[in-house]
Copies of this chain bind each other. A is one copy, B any other.
Amino acid sequence: MKLVLKKEAATPIHQQIYHQLVNRIQTGVLAAGDRMPSLRLLSKELEVNYLTINKVYQRLEEEGYVEILQGKGAFVKSPHSGHTFPQIDGHQDSFTPLLTRSQYLMQRSKRQYDFSKAVVSPGLLPSHFLADQAKTILDLYPMILTTYGPVEGDEELRTEVSAYLGNQLGYRPPIDEILITSGVQQAINVVANTFLTPSDTVAVESPCYGAALDTFMNRGNAILPIQIDRDGMRTDLLEEQCRRNPPRVVYVNPTFHNPTGTSMSEKRRKELLELAETYHFLIIEDDSFNEIYFDGVLPPKPIKYFDTTGHCIFLKGFSKTMAPGIRLGALIADKELYESIFIAKASMDVGSPLLNQKVILPFMKTQRMKDHLEKLRIALQIRRDMTVEILENHLKDRITYEIPKGGLNLWIKLPEGIDILGLQKRASELSISFLPGSACYATNEPTQEIRISYSGLSDRENTEGITKLAKLITDLI
C-alpha cells in the first residue's frame, strides 16, 4: 500500500494520511477484516512521526472505519449502511479521490470471469477485416508512421464520421465541427480542459460513469450528482440546483447509460436542452452505446439531434462497436466552441495517430459496418438474456434490477446485509470480478449496487461465471 504524501501541500500531513486511508477503505483496497499496517511500519514508510499516525488511527476508530484491538492491531470494519462519509473538498484533497475509480483498471492479475469492464469480446468485432485494411493502408501510405497527422484528425475520416452520424443526429455535422480523439475518455478530457476552470461545478447523473467523474474531480471541479430514474436524469432536480447555482457543464450518458442501462426519455432530453439555454451550461453527451439496442427497438434520438443552439457537445465512441485497440472517438461541437477545443487537443497530444484513423475508414464506408452492428446486437442480446435467465433462476426476488434494453451493463441491487467488499473478495478467489457500485458515485458512499458487464467474455465463460457469481451471492444471503 503506497500513500503519496505531499509535504509541501496546504493540507496537513495527518489529513492527507487520513483521507488516503479512508479512500482505500471505502474502495475496498483495504477490505473489511483486513489488518491495517502497523503504526510503526507506516511511520517508518512515510517518514512521519509515530504520534501523527496514532492520531489518524484514533480518528478512524472514532468514525467507525477501523477497530483497534489492544496488542493485535487495527482492523478494517464493515461499513454499516447509512454511514455518511465526510465530504472531501478543497483542491489538495480533491486529488485523493482520483484514486477511487480508475484504480479498478489497475487489476494486474487477470480474472477468468472478468465482468468488471464494459468491453466487447474481440471475437465479436471485425478483427481480421480491420487488420487486412491496416495492411492495405500501409502499402498505400508508406510514410504514414513517420508523419504527424492533423491535430483535428484525418479529413477523410471526419468526412466519413459526418456521413455516419448524419443518420443519428438528423444532420451531417460539417467536418470543421468534428474532432477525432483517442477514444471517448480523451474526448471528455478535451472538453474539461477547454471549458472547465478548476473551480467550476459539473453536474452528472448519479450513478455516473466512473472515469468521467475522475476526469472532472482531477481537474478540481465540484461534482453535483443528480439522481436518475427510469427516464434518466431528473431534470426537475437539476433545475432546482440551477436556480441556486448553475453548473458550468452537465455530463450525461443518456443512451443505455453506464452503469444502469437506462435511457433518458425524449421529453427529458428536450428539458435538459432548455435548461442549458436558460442557465448557459454546456451539455456533454457521451454516446458509446447508441448502436447497441436490443429487441429491435431503437433508442431515443441523441440530445444533439434536438440541439439548435450549440449547447451540446456530442461524443461518439468507436471502442464498443468497432475496435477498442484503435483508440478512436469523435467529438462534435458547434463552430463557436471548436477553435478552443482544437487548441486543447493540440496541447494534450498534438493529434491522434493517423494510421489508426485511416484503418476504420473502409469499414465505415461500406455495408459491412451495418451488417456487423446487426450481428453484434444479436450476439449481445443473447448474452444479456442468458445473464438475466441465470440471475432469475438463482436469485429471483432477492435482487433488484432493470433488464437493459441496450448497452453492455447490468446494474444490480443486492439485498441489505450483503457486504459488497466481502463479496468482492470471495468472488476474486473464484477468479470473478465485477464493479462495485460505489465506483460510480462521486462521494463513494457505500451502496448495495454492483455493475456486471456481460459483453466481454465468450458465451460459455459468461454462463459459467454468472452462474458461479449467482451461487456465491445465494450463499451469502
Contact = CB atoms under 8 A, between A and B. Distances in A.
Contacts of A337: 4
Contacts of A353: 182, 325-327, 353, 356
Interface in A211-225: 211, 214-215, 218-220
B218 A347 contact: yes
A147 interface: yes
Interface in A115-171: 119, 122, 125-128, 130-132, 134-135, 138-139, 142-149, 151
B103 A343 contact: yes
Given A8-B248, A340-B99, A353-B353, A146 B134 contact: no
Contact of A2 (B103, B220, B336, B356): B336
A186 B148 contact: no
Contacts of A2: 335-336, 339
Contact of A183 (B99, B186, B335, B350): B350
A226 B231 CA distance: 55
Given A143-B122, A148-B324, A344 B131 contact: no
Contacts of A344: 98, 102, 218
Contacts of A189: 347-349
Contact of A343 (B102, B147, B186, B326): B102
A349 B131 contact: no
A297 interface: no
Contacts of A348: 185-186, 189, 215, 348
Interface stretch (A192-200, A288-296, A429-437): A192-200
**A: interface residue count bin:** 35 or more
Nearest to A104: B346
B7 A347 contact: no
Nearest to A135: B135
Contacts of A142: 127-128, 131
7 contacts: A7-B280, A8-B279, A94-B197, A103-B343, A122-B146, A130-B146, A147-B325
Given A127-B145, A193-B218, A218-B344, 5 more contacts: A6-B248, A8-B246, A8-B281, A127-B142, A143-B325
